[in-house]
Structures are given as C-alpha cells and as structure tokens.
Structure 1
Amino acid sequence: MYNIPDASPSLINEDLAPATERRWGAFSIFNVWTSDVHSLWGYYLAASLFLLCGSLLNFVIAIGLGSLVIYGLMTLVGNAGVRTGVPFPVLARASFGTFGANAPALIRGVVACFWYGAQTAAASGALVALLLRYPDMLAFHESSHMLGHSTLEVICYVIVWALQLLIILRGMETVRRFQDWAGPAVWVMMLFLAIYLVVKSGTFSFGSEIPQDVLVKATAEAGITTAPGTWPTLMAVAATWITYFAALYLNFCDFSRYATSERAVRVGNMWGLPVNLLAFCLVAGVTTTAAYSVYGEVLLHPDQISAKFDSWFLAALAALTFVVATLGINVVANFVSASFDFSNAAPRLIDFKRGGLIAAAIALILYPWAPWETGATHFVNFIGSTMGPIFGIMMVDYYLLRQGRLNVADLYRENGEFRFNNGWHGKAFIALFIGMVFSSILPTFTSILPSWWGMYGWFFGVAIGGGTYWLLRSGDMR
C-alpha cells in the first residue's frame, strides 16, 4: 500500500505508486533486453545491418559503438527508475506537468498498441507457416475466410493474443519469470539454427559472397540506401540501431523501478545491451549468410529459413521459438508500457491490468484491418518520432536541471511542485513542438532539409527538443 500524504486519487493507484517490492536483479534486467531484441523484426534488422556493414571490422565499429550509446542512454533512464521507483508516465509529470504528462504517455501508448498488434500478427504467422505443412491445414487455409483473413490466420492470432494476455494479467512478477525463462531459451534456439546452417553450408562467412545488388535489394526495408561498407552506411547503421530502441528509452523505467539497485541495472544493461546486441547481430548475420550458401537466397526473416527445413521437428522448434521471442518483445516494448500509460490517464478507473486489457482489446479490434500491413505504418512511425523530443526534455529536466533530485511525493499531488499551469507545463510543450518540427514534420512533409536528415531525425529531436527546454527553463531553476 502506498503511503503518500495528500496524494490525489486522480494521480495515483497501487500500480502507479513508487515500487516497494524490488526483486529484479541483473539477470532479470539482462532478460528484458533478450526479450526485447530477439523478435522476428529484430532478427531482420540485425541481419540486414550486419550485411550492410560489409566486413567484421565495420560491424564491430558500427554496431559496437551504437550498442554502447544504447547502453548509456538506457542506464540514464534506468537509474531514474531505480531512484524514484515510478513508471514512465509518472516520471514525465516532472517535466510536462501532473496532467500534461498524459500527452506523451498516450502517444507512447498508441504506438505500443499498434506494434502490439503487428508483433502478435508476426508471431501468429510463424504458427500458420508451420501448420501449412499439413495438406488438410493448407486446404482449410485456402477455403475458409473471416474478418478479411483466412480462418486459420484468425485462430492463430487469437491464440497468440490470449497467451500474451495470460502472462501480463498475472502481474509484473510473472513478466519477470517469463523473461528469465524465455530469454535464454531463444538464445539456445538461435545458436542451434546458426550451427545447423553453418555445418550444412560448410562455410563460416560474413556475406562477402552475396552480390551487392542482391544484398541492397534484400535489405531495402531497413531504409539505408548508400553502398554497403561505406562510412555513410556505417553511420546510418549505427543511427538505425540506436533509433530502433527509441520507445524503450522512454519506458525502461517501467522495469528498472523494480530493480534491486543501480548496480543491478548497470550490470544487466552491460550484458543485455553491448554484449548481447553484438552477439545477436553476429549470430543473425552468420545464419543469414550460411542460409544463402545452402538455399541460394537472402533469407533475412528466420521464419523464411525454418520454412525451408525438411524436418518437421526442426521447423516446429523454430516456430515455437519465434513465437516465444515475439511474445517477449510484445510484453516488454508494448504491453507493459500501454498498461501504465492508460492507467495514468484515469488512475481511479484503470489499474495496470485494466490498462493491459484496453491495449489487448485495441490490438484485437485492429486485426481485421491489419493497419501494420498498410500505409498506416508510416503514420505511426511519424507519431513515434516524437519520442526523441520527449526523451530529450525528460532527461534534461531530470539530470541537468534537477541534478537527479526529485520530489517524488509531489508527482502525486495536484497542487504540488509539478502543477505548473493547472497541471500542464507550457514550456515543455513548446519544446516538444519545436523538437517535432525538426524530428518529424519537416523531414516528412517537406523537402527543406537534406534527404539524409530523416535517418537521424530522432537524434535531432532529442537535441533540439531537450536544448529548447533547457533554454526555456534554465532561468527558472536558479
């Protein structure tokens, strides 16, 4: 039970209150990252970026430096979570105001719901691909349809959707236990897949045998158009890798608030980010190049590789692993965040579990239209680009202006330090708008900025949004 005198019921409930039970050690923090990156899309991106580096040395430079930057940024957010014990939407109250924080929280929540549905569809797709090996299932898939999809696809989507719901509704401790099991399990399967294909191909290479035109075409979805192995490409690879984690820079404190100490966060982040990310990218890249030698195709999606297996057992094992991996990233990157974000909007009515139910319901409602397969993806990416300015504003506020000291109790009081103007902080929203102009609006809707600007839009958003906020507030904090 929380113990904050004069806390407003419109700002607090048991889930939003500072964490009191802290059982997440370094191993659990490490598995936040194994769960987050080891997904179907994470594998595709890792393999693509590996191949675009052009050599092992370039890979170590681009992905290595990018992973160190990710480690530094996540540790900043993680330490704030340990010190305050509060989730992202509550921490955002310090800079955006007690009620103004709902704006960045709901932006994060909307993006989380969208990708929650997309990841669920990807995981269910792995199950569908496995079942289509049976002639009866293939006939059912082709003959029966509902909600704009095959009935088999709908059934698999609902199964995966329900499994995630069972995990999250049992609470954050169950999330921790799931991650502690799922993270190592996915790694075992990844290594098995790599060893199997390397042995079958008889080669251990880094993609040099793949024709450059074939490689560029296969990796086009990664958004990097410069020639593999060049310095512009290496810079773009590092930037893409860093930006991939934009959402979790905001809400990693949703997890670190349960950590036993700042040291647990640092150690878990070190193993889970630079070490794990380098190893994961290396394994994904080696697996892809070995698969090219075996099958004569650039197969950047692991379910494409498993579909080639002659052995039903190996295909089933791979499909199950991909489902578990995608469940992991959905819980970490999407479900938990949306639960806290929606709870923050109406604490008296919505607790963590109800917030999760809302997120799951939205993902289920979206499925018939599958907006993640249409141009809606660009809209959500546009909204998501606002995460750069939000992150910059929050970190400038917490570390530069407040020197890491925060009156946590006032985060839950309507008339406390963070009331600003009726619960809204105008200067934060001015900084957010200016940051958005340069991170997303100008590069998306105009040709005023150079063509390469969009690749680094998140960084410009952090710098310009955070810098503007510092200029507007520096006089207030003296």
Structure 2
Amino acid sequence: GVLRGLPAIVWFGFQSWVGAGAINSCMNILFGVSNLPVVYAFFTLLQVALAIKGFEGIKWLENISCVFIIAILIYMLYVVNTQFASEIGDVFSGIKGTWGMPFWAATTSFLGIYSTMIINASDYSRNATDDIKPVKAASIYTIAILPVTLFMGLIGLLVTAATGNSDPVVVFSTTMGSKFLTIVTLLFIAFAQVTTNVLNNIVPPAYVLMESFKMKWTHATVLVGILSACVMPWKLVTDESAAGLNFFTQFYSAFLGPIFAVMAVDYFILRKKKLDINDMYDKQGCFKGINWAAVIAIIFGSLCSLLVMQLSWYVSLIPTGVAYYLLMKMMPASKPFCKGTIFEK
C-alpha cells in the first residue's frame, strides 16, 4: 500500500499543476489575469473537496465526465490531425522504428504508471455490487482505460511530433485558432486531471493512511492534498525534470512489478483462483502477521529489476514469481499462510 501510495501522491501533485495551468491559461485569455500558484492552490482544494464526498460522489463525477472526455478527445485528435497534417507527415516519414531498448523502456514506464491502478483494483472493486462477475469487471476496466489511453497517447505523440512541445496546455492554448475552442480544450485538460486524480491518486493513498494511522476518510484526503503540494509539482513539470520523472517511474516500477508477480502467483497458481475472504480479513485468523515469503520474494525481485532499470517491470516478474513459489513451498514460517493453497497439508 505504501509503495503504491507514494507514487500516487506525486502524480496527484503533478497532474494538479497541469490542470491548474490550463485553468490559468483560460483566465488569461478571458480576463487577462494570471496567477498560477493561487489557481493551483484552489484547484487542489477543489479536488480534495470532491474526494471528501466519498466514493458515491466520485462515482457520479466519473459517470458524468466520461462522455464529455471521450467527445473532446475525438475532437482534439481531429484538430491535431488536420491543423498539423503536413508537419506530422514530415516528421513521421523520416522515422525508423525499432523494437529495441527504447521501445521496451517506454512500455516499462507505461506499465509503471498503470500498474498502480492494477494493484489497487480492490480499492474500486470493494464498492462493486454482487452481480459484477470477473468477466464483467474485466470488461469495465478495459472500456474505462483502453480508449482514453490510446486517444491521449496518440494525441500526445502527434502534438509533440508537430510542434516539438510535449506540454498540452502550451500547445492547445496557442494553436487552436479560436478563443472558444481554445477555452473548451483547456477546460477539458483541467477536467481530465480532476477525474483522474480524484479516483486514481487520492483514493489509494487515503486508504493507506486510514489503515496505517486509523485516520478518518476526511482527514486522510486532506493530508494527501497537503503531501501532494510538498512534492513541488512546479519543479516536476519543467523540461529539466522530464528525465528525472521518467527515472522515478521506472524506479517505482521495480517494486510494483514484484508485488504484481506475488499477487498473480498466489491467486492463479497457489490458490487456483479460490479465496476465502472471511479468512483473509480476519485479523486474528490464520493469516495474522506477516507473510515473509512474499516480502522476501518482493525484495529479491526488486533487486533483480534494479539491475536493468529501463526494463524493471519485465525483469522482476519471473524471479519474483519463482522465488515466492519456492519460499511458500519450503519456508517453515510461511506454513500458516499456505491455507487454501496447493501446499496446504
């Protein structure tokens, strides 16, 4: 939970600064007023206030926003493809693709970002009703993540190729050709940060704080907002920080990959997809304490992945999975945690 919560706080601050920048650009266009630090402070407070409403409020925010976001993404893709058609053609005509290290390093960064949501699926699924079966749940996750991810990735690629600038706020505030469309697009960028942050970057660390320090939901969400400002997102968005932010993503992937590997081996191989939820959540039951087989396997997998940082996610999976399997089988301290597994005696 801690390894997942820390990156979420960093991304909350980063995306809040991006959204505040979009709102600040709108204010500058409409009223000639610009004060990004103040806008950022109010924008962060707004997101925390929305999260305080709880998961039911978050659900309705996401339901309403999804249609608007998809529609604007389609329009943004259309504008970029028509307005920068010649520039895009010139750039991509001379590119020679490679399936080497740059490609796999890029996918490692991608997995590092999205693995945070994979690992924290339980933060959302705990609110699902009984009729949400595995196939339906997987379909919901796919529909929720895949289209938007592809749209945003493609738009980012095309915009960067055409203008040489990867900052969407700067690009769309200067190239739309219409004040109305510019404002709509910038508001969309801000709105997209809200929907992402409230669900993906506030909920997980807030749950961690609640579990670790017995905090109330309200206090936990406020603390997440404060901590997100402490990471100084205004430093993270600079060109000088781009390499460091990419390194940070690859670094925490070195830990999230092993966690994912332990979860996958435990669920699919050792427990054959059958869990006793009552046992798992009984703090005085058979799973009381720490499963050192899992902890040691995660540490071992993380050390392996740090050897090839650019491929940290991929490098960690097999060593972690094998280590966890063998430790669960042979380590005496892991016997209490073998209940329900193929090693139960």
TM range (shorter): 0.7 to 0.9
Aligned to 1:153: 36
Question: Is residue 2:293 matched to residue 1:427?
Answer: yes
Instruction: Provide the residue aligned with 2:125 in structure 1.
Output: 256
Deviation at 1:321, TM superposition (A): 0.3
Distance in structure 2 (CA, Å) of the matches to 1:365 and 1:116? 11
Tell me the residue number matched to 2:219: 354
CA contact (8 A) 1:189 1:321 kept: yes
Return the TM-score normalized by structure 1. Answer: 0.61
Instruction: Answer yes or no: is 1:403 the counterpart of 2:272.
Output: yes
After superposition, what is the alpha-carbon deviation per residue over 1:316-335, rounded to whole angstroms, capped at 9, x for unaligned? 11111001111122123211
Residues 48 and 225, structure 2, Cα contact 8 Å, conserved in 1: yes
Match of 2:4 among 84, 108, 114: 108
Greater per-residue helix proportion = 2
Q: Which amino acid aligns with 2:181?
A: L
Which runs of 5 or more residues in structure 2 are unaligned? none
> 1:265/1:192 Cα in 2 relative to 1: closer, same or farther (>3 Å)?
same
Paired AA for residue 361 in structure 1: I
What's the offset of the Cα at 1:368?
8.5
Return the alpha-carbon distance in structure 2 between the equivalents of residues 376 and 240 of structure 1: 12
Supply the distance in 2 between the matched residues of 1:340 and 1:181 (Cα, whole angstroms).
Answer: 24
| Separation of aligned partners in 1, 2:248 and 2:154 | 32
CA RMSD of aligned residues (A): 3.0
CA distance in 2, matches of 1:123, 1:162: 13
Q: Please tell me the residue identity of whatever aligns with 2:218.
A: K
Which residue of the partner structure matches residue 242 of structure 1?
A: 111
Instruction: Give the aligned residue type for 2:13.
Output: G
CA distance in 1, matches of 2:121, 2:96: 32
| Structure 1 position 305, deviation (Å) | 2.3
Q: State whether residues 8 and 205 of structure 2, in contact with CA within 8 Å, keep that contact through their aligned partners in structure 1.
A: yes
Distance 1:306 1:465 in 2: 44
2:138 corresponds in structure 1 to: 266
Give CA-to-partner distance per residue, 1:219-259, whole Å, 9 cap, x none: xxxxxxxx741222554554443343121121022112323
1:230 partnered with 2:98: yes
The answer as to whether partners of 2:80 and 2:158 remain within 8 angstroms in 1 is no
Matches within 5 A, 1:29-428: 105-133=1-29, 136-137=32-33, 152-200=35-83, 203=85, 207-210=88-91, 228-232=96-100, 233-260=102-129, 261-262=132-133, 263-285=135-157, 292=162, 297-308=163-174, 309-346=176-213, 349-367=214-232, 370=235, 377=245, 378=247, 382-419=251-288, 423-428=289-294
User: How many residues end up aligned between the 2 structures?
Assistant: 324
Structure 1 partner of 2:314: 459
Q: In structure 1, what is the equivalent of residue 305 of structure 2? A: 439
SS of the counterpart of 1:177?
Answer: helix
Higher relative contact order (CA 8 A, sep 6+): 1
CA offsets, 1:204-231, max 9 Å, x none? x894411788xxxxxxxxxxxxx74122
Deviation at 1:430, TM superposition (A): 1.2
CA distance in 2, matches of 1:113, 1:237: 22
Quote the Cα distance in structure 1 between the aligned partners of 2:2 and 2:149.
Answer: 29
- The one-letter amino acid paired with 1:341 is V
Alpha-carbon separation, structure 2, partners of 1:192 and 1:329: 20
Which letter does structure 1 place at the counterpart of 2:97? Answer: G
Q: 1:119 to 1:228 in 2, by over 3 A?
A: farther
Report the residue type matching 2:6 in the other structure. Answer: V
Indicate conservation of the 8 Å contact 2:112/2:250, yes or no: no
The corresponding residue for 1:470 is: 325
CA, structure 1 residues 372+342, in 2 after alignment: closer, same or farther (shift >3 Å)? farther
Unpaired segments of 5 or more residues in structure 1?
1-104, 142-151, 214-226, 443-452
